[in-house]
Amino acid sequence: MNYTFLDDTHFKSAGLEEQVLTRHYLTEDDGKIMSVFPGSEKLRYLIPFGKIQDVMDYFNEIAAVDPLAVLVHGDDGEKFGAWKDTYQHTYEEKWLHQFFDALSENIGWLQTLTPSEAVRSVEPLGKIYIPDGSYREMNEWSSGFWRNFKVRYPESDEMYCRMMCVSARLHKAVSEGWGGADIELARESLYRSQCNCGYWHGAFGGIYLPHLRNAVYRELIRADNLIDRAVEHSGDWLESQTADFNFDGQNEVRLTNDQLNLMFLPHKGGMLYELDIKNIAHNLSATMTRRPEAYHRKLARFAGRLAAGEDNNEKQIICKQEGLDRQLQYDAYPRKLLLDLFYDYDTDFESVQKARTGQHGDFVQGDYNAVIRKKTNRMQVLMSREGFAYGQPVRIDKAITLSAGSSAIDIAYRLSGLPEGYKIHFAVEFNFAGMPGGAENRFFHHPFSRSAMPLVQNTLRTYCPLATLDKPLDLTNEHGLALYDDWLGLDVALNVNQPTDFYAFPVGTVNQSDGGFELVHQSVAVQPHWRFAADETGVWSVEMQLKIDTSAARERDLKAHALLKDAAKILVGDIE
C-alpha cells in the first residue's frame, strides 16, 4: 500500500492542530513507509448539505493559508441519493450539478486530482505516528475505543469470539496440510463474516438489524461446514469441547454433531447462547437483548410533548410506527435459550410480555456446574446449581443430550429441595431468532397438527397455523408448540412430556436508523411454564425435546437443483 485515508480526528489524537491538516503525512512501521491523507470532517458536513458558496468559501480560506493544500473528502455514497430526502436535494434540486459547475468555474486555482497524483506532486508535511482510534462520532458512540462495542453489546462480542474460533480452526487446518477449494472458500466466508456493519451501532441500525447479524453467522457456519468437508469430517459424528470460547476467563461448553452446533454458558445461567443449524447456515439464537439507549430519552420527550399538546421541539424525530414510546422495554437478562425463571404464582401474561415481572430465583444468571457425559453416539451436558427460589434453597439439574446424526435436542429438568406445599410458578425460556413476524408464511402451529383443518400450503407442506409470529399466545394444557418459517424452510418444535402452559410473544427493539426510529423484530420468546405445589418428596421434573426440521429447505433445494439441471439440458440442446 502506497497511501491510505484516515479521518482528521486520528491526526488530532496524535497532537496535530486543524491548521496543519492540509496535506498528506508519512508514517512508518517496521521499516515500511506509507502516505496518509487526513479526511476533512468539515467537508463531510458541507458536502452535500451545505450551500455551494459555503463550500467554495472554505476552499478559499484554506488556499489563502497554503496554495498547495490538498483537501480530502471521503464519505458514505448513500448521501448522494439513498438517504432520506438526499435524492431530491442532490439531483432534483441540482446541488451536485451546481457543485461540479463551481469546480469547473474555478479551475484556475482549484484543481481535482487523484491521491497518487497528490503524492507525486505535493511534498508531505512531515512524519507522524498515529494511535488507535476512530472518527469523532464513532469515538462518542463507542465511549472512546471501537472495541468497546463488544462490551456495550454482548451480541457483538459473541459474533467476534465465534469468528475468532473459526479463524483459529482454519489456521489449524492449513498448518496441518489441508488445502484445496473448500479451504479457500472457507477463508472467503471467514473474511465476509468480518464485515464491520453488524458489529456496532451509531446513527443507523447496525447490530440492531437482524439481517446483518444473520449474515455474519451464515458465513461463519458456512466456513465451519467447509472446513469439516476439507478435513474429511463426514458421516454421522459427535464431539464435545470445554474451553474459554468467548475470552471471559471461564470455560464454556460446546456440543456439536453433523447437524447442529450448541454452545453453553454454564456460569451465566447455563444458557444455550448459540444454536447453529448447519445445513441452512442459521444461528437460531442470534437474538438481541432490549437495553436503554441515550436516544430513547429523546423519543420519550417527543411522545410526552405530543401527549400534552405542546409544540414539538425535537425537530428531527421521525417515527416509522406509532406508539414507539410504549415499546420501550428493557430486559433484565439476555434473550437466549434455557433460561430458568421463577415467577409469582399469579403472574399474568401481560407482565411477562412487558418484562415487568420480577424474578424470585437466582438461577437465570447464576453459576451452574457443568459435567459432560459420553456414551456411544450420545453426549450430554449436565448443568447443576444449588440456589434460591422464593427465599428457599432449591436445586436445579438440567441435562441436554445430543446424538450423532440427529437434529433433535433432548432436555430434562429436575427441581429438588422444594418446600412441601409451596406454590411454584416455574418457566424455561427459549428465544428463537431469524424467524420474523408479520408474514403469513411464518407462524405458530401445533407440532402434531399438520393434517388438521384448516390447512395452509407452505412450500411442500400443509400446516394448521395458530397465529403469525408477531402475535402473542397464551396457551394452556398443551404438549407442544412449534414455529414454522417458510423462507428458511425451518420448523422448530418444542414437545413436552406432560401438560404444559405456554407463553409466546415477539421481542422487538426500538432503535434509530437512517429513516428514523423503528420497532425491529428480534426474536420470538417461547416459555413453557408450570404452576404446581411441591409434594412431600420436594422433587419435580419435566422432559422436553427441541426438534429442528429442515426437510422443507432440503426438498426445496432439490427441486431447484432439478430445475437448474433441466434448464441446462435445454440450453445445451439449443446450442447444439
Rounded CA-CA distance 238/520 in Å is 36
User: Do the Cβ atoms of 371 and 379 come closer than 8 Å?
Assistant: no
Nearest to 263 by CA among 255, 11, 120: 255
The C-alpha cell 431468532 sits at 433
Rounded CA-CA distance 300/316 in Å is 14
User: Do the Cβ atoms of 394 and 420 come closer than 8 Å?
Assistant: no
Within a 13 Å sphere around the CA of 320, how many CA atoms are in the beta-carbon half?
12
Other Cβ atoms within 10 Å of 339 Cβ, number: 24
What's the predicted TM-score (pTM) here?
A: 0.87
Rounded CA-CA distance 398/542 in Å is 10
User: Do the Cβ atoms of 490 and 553 come closer than 8 Å?
Assistant: yes
Identity of the amino acid at 319: C
The C-alpha cell 469430517 sits at 233
Rounded CA-CA distance 64/62 in Å is 5
User: Do the Cβ atoms of 132 and 145 come closer than 8 Å?
Assistant: yes
Q: What per-residue confidence (pLDDT) applies to 461?
A: 60
Q: What per-residue confidence (pLDDT) applies to 575?
A: 53
User: Do the Cβ atoms of 216 and 195 come closer than 8 Å?
Assistant: yes
In tens digits, the chain (576 residues) has pLDDT values of: 899 999 999 999 899 988 889 999 999 999 999 999 999 989 989 999 999 999 999 999 999 988 889 999 888 888 899 887 889 999 999 999 999 999 999 999 999 999 999 999 999 999 999 988 888 888 888 888 888 999 999 999 999 999 999 999 999 999 999 999 999 999 999 999 999 999 999 888 899 999 999 999 999 999 999 999 999 888 999 999 999 999 999 999 999 999 999 999 999 999 999 999 999 999 999 999 999 988 888 888 877 777 777 765 555 677 777 778 888 889 999 999 999 999 999 999 998 988 767 789 999 999 999 999 999 899 999 999 999 999 999 999 999 999 999 999 999 999 999 988 989 999 999 999 999 988 889 999 998 744 433 444 444 466 788 999 999 999 999 999 999 999 999 999 999 999 999 999 999 988 888 778 888 899 999 999 999 999 999 999 999 999 999 999 998 888 888 888 877 777 777 554
Rounded CA-CA distance 57/40 in Å is 15
The three three-digit cell numbers of residue 138, written as one number: 464513532
> Of all residues in the chain, what percent are helix, strand and coil, respectively (each to 5)?
30, 30, 35
Q: Is 532 exposed, middle or buried (0-12, 13-18, 19+ CB in 10 A)?
A: middle
Q: What per-residue confidence (pLDDT) applies to 263?
A: 98
Crossing angle for the helix pair 95-105 and 52-65, nearest 10 degrees?
30
Q: Where are the domains of the chain?
A: 3-131, 147-283, 295-324
Please give the C-alpha separations between residue 154 and each of 147, 158, 273, 335, 337, in angstroms, as whole numbers: 11, 6, 11, 11, 15
The three three-digit cell numbers of residue 141, written as one number: 458512540
Q: What per-residue confidence (pLDDT) applies to 459?
A: 46
Identity of the amino acid at 569: K
Q: Element (H or E) spanning 437, and its range?
A: none
